[in-house]
Structure 1
Amino acid sequence: MGVTVIEELPKKGFLKFRQDQLFQVRKLFNLEKPGRVKEAIELLREWLEKQDHFNKKDFSDVYLELLLITSKGSVERAKSRIDKLCTYRTIWPHFFTAIDVYSFKEDFKTFNSLILPEVTEDYSRVNIFKINSNVPLQADLVLTYIKFSIILCEYCKLHDYPSGFIIVLDYQDVNLLDLLAILSPAQLQQMINLYMEGFGMRIRGIHLVTTSKVSDHLIMLLKQVLSKKLSNRIHVHRNHESLYDFIPKKILPADYGGDAVHMSEMRDDFFKELSTKEHMEYMKEIQSATVDLKKKPKDSSIDEMVMTGSFRSLSVD
């Protein structure tokens, strides 16, 4: 069975790509030489067939190519990524239950979360998470958000081709003390593991937007679960304007003084794509990508801390 590599990135759909993005991102991860992507996918397929503990092995060529991209072109890292993500689906099934993005309709009164359609100059994808004003923060906010964000992550895992990710945490309209009261290092560790170790988010910057004087306390909490290298990529902004030093104004929503449409309009367009029959069926199908823990090798790359619930600082690419 032959391998099909991506010839060009889509020109239609919610996610937009720069004209040279396919080549430049491949070049960044040493995948630009003819035949290199195909060879890497073949190696992944051969490895997958030998993994008796996998309950799903028939991942598409597109999925495997994008897995390579989020693994910086490394076949060995791609093996580790897919093994970890399938294991997380097995040991943390409560995070992977959501399929319909509109099932979170009531939760949107508390938060807004969006992947911007346009990328930055260096092909990074921007994700904005904003907590709305004048809403009480429930204890299950983090769990709810993880379940919601997995829908976004699964979509990007199949459709995006970024060099990395930029995270914007907009807490301007929330009392950070209320937020800190519902956060725990253990839960944050699980969330970061899912995003970085499972979905392979190469985080190039974390931008915290807040005027609160207790922002240092939030940063201290984040540093408990992030490596020093990634902790140094945390930036605090007192207003939207300073974001322009890191994210082009032209791709930011009008809500942030940007040149693009309002966040609500972007979200409506994105959610229409997330709620198509094709994506909903894919979300159901990908839930079967789990592992049989009884067959899983004991010398697997999954850390013991995943099983025990302890946590450590994560490294960063």
Structure 2
Amino acid sequence: MSFPWKVPADEEYSKHPKLKKEDVQAIQEWIKSTDYLPKIDDEMVCNFLYACFYNVEQAKKTIENFYTYKNTMPDFFDNWDPSIKEIQDAINNVLIASPLPETDNDGHRVIVCKLNDTNTELFNYPACVKWILMSCVYSLWARGIQKGYVIVYDATGFTMSHLLKCSLTNVRNYINYGKNASPIRVRKIVFINTSPVVKRLMTLVKPFLSKEIIEMMSFHTDFESFFANVPKTGVPEDYGGEAPAMIDIHKECVRTIMEHKEWIVAEGKVRADDTKKGGKSKKDKLDGSFKRLELD
């Protein structure tokens, strides 16, 4: 299936002079030589190359991880269909997650994630992550290569009860995906409206974090200090700006992605063929959830 790339590879080359067609072709030849990696569009290769700062070897590793993790992280990649109940429950009731309508003052695309309903009985961490990953893939199709991304987690209403519902395996997998397999160039990871729960979470996951990721992180007890770097016209009204409320931006994002449901489903099936790969893909498993850790 041909995916809905709004920005073709030739246009990406003209926008980003360091992005070389010969590097994309070299990676495509390498993909063919592996036998177990799927065929992917040049546009997707361009995104990986840009995310890896044009380093061909690093892009190869990232591509391999991306398509292999789809097999080893089933909670995030199996049933990649935004219309299934677990995703619908998440996006209609629990989660608000969407890019803002404008970039920040540095030209970075800002994605805001927050809880809509703080009822812990409704909270489904894997479903929330799955939607965020779907949204990121759609952003690649719709916007093309972006200068960079800023991921903002609004911790309002996030409690220890939410944390205790997260499995250690899934939290580590999400972190590993961000470190090793993301096709977008993440420049900052920002936590706003933080609380002692966020501080405790960071203490628990720090062993999984690389130095590079830690250096990307910043923490704000309010939201004003972060949104000062976003034009008022691009800041949601519930954060003091002139754009529509975050829930309305989210609903529009949901509507648009649902219109491309068939492509999202198809993308979920594009993955490595473990039967052709030497050895078996390892599924990391950490027992239990944060309940098993000392949280005092």
- Amino acid of the residue matched to residue 128 of structure 1? V
Which of 136, 139, 155 does residue 120 from structure 2 map onto? 136
Q: Pick one of 214, 218, 233 that aligns with 2:201.
A: 218
| One-letter identity of the residue aligned with 2:94 | T
Conserved 8 A contact 1:53-1:293? yes
Q: Pick from 105, 130, 141 the counterpart of residue 147 of structure 1.
A: 130
Give the structure, 1 or 2, with the largest relative contact order (CA under 8 Å, sep 6 or more). Answer: 2
User: Which of 54, 57, 80 is the matching residue for 1:73?
Assistant: 54
**Alignment size in residue pairs:** 276
Q: For 1:267 and 1:133, locate their aligned partners in 2 and report how far apart those are by CA, in whole Å.
A: 14
Please, which of 172, 178, 198 is the counterpart of residue 161 of structure 2?
Answer: 178
Cα distance in 1 between the residues matched to 2:65 and 2:194: 37
For 1:192, the aligned partner's letter is I
Partner of 2:82: 100
Paired with 1:117 and 1:171, the residues of 2 have a C-alpha distance of 21
Alignment match, 1:309: 285
Structure 1 residue 243 displacement after superposition: 1.3
Q: Which amino acid aligns with 1:149?
A: I
- Tell me the CA shift for residue 237 of structure 1: 1.7
Give the conservation status (yes or no) of the 8 Å contact 1:101–1:151: no
- From 117, 123, 133, give the equivalent of 2:101: 117
- Report the equivalent of 2:149: 165
Comparing 178-187 with 249-258, greater Cα deviation is found at 178-187
Gaps of 5+ in 1: 10-21, 312-317
Following TM superposition, where does structure 1 have runs of at least 4 consecutive aligned residues deviating by more than 4 angstroms? none
Deviations 1:167-210 (A, max 9, x none): 11112233x22222223443211012223422234332222223
Root mean square deviation of aligned Cα: 2.8
- Equivalent residue for 1:46, pick from 14, 29, 44: 29
Q: Which amino acid aligns with 1:73?
A: Y
Relative to structure 1, is the Cα distance of residues 74 and 251 closer, same or farther in structure 2, using a 3 angstrom cutoff?
same
- Deviation track 1:66-97 (CA, whole Å, cap 9, x = no partner) reads 22222221222221122111111122334221
TM-score by length of 1: 0.76
Give distance in 2, aligned partners of 1:79 and 1:226.
22
- In the other structure, the counterpart of 1:254 is 237
Q: What does 1:50-69 align with in structure 2 at a 5 Å threshold?
A: 50-54=33-37, 56-57=38-39, 59-69=40-50
In the TM superposition, what is the alpha-carbon distance from 1:5 to its structure 2 partner? 2.7
Q: Shift of residue 130 of structure 1?
A: 0.6
1:132-179 CA distance string (max 9 Å, x none) = 3552245x62111122222112212333312322111112233x2222
Q: Percent identity?
A: 25
The residue number in structure 2 matching 1:6 is: 10
Deviation per CA, 1:36-94, whole angstroms, max 9, x where unpaired? 2x11221122112212112x21x222222222222221222221122111111122334
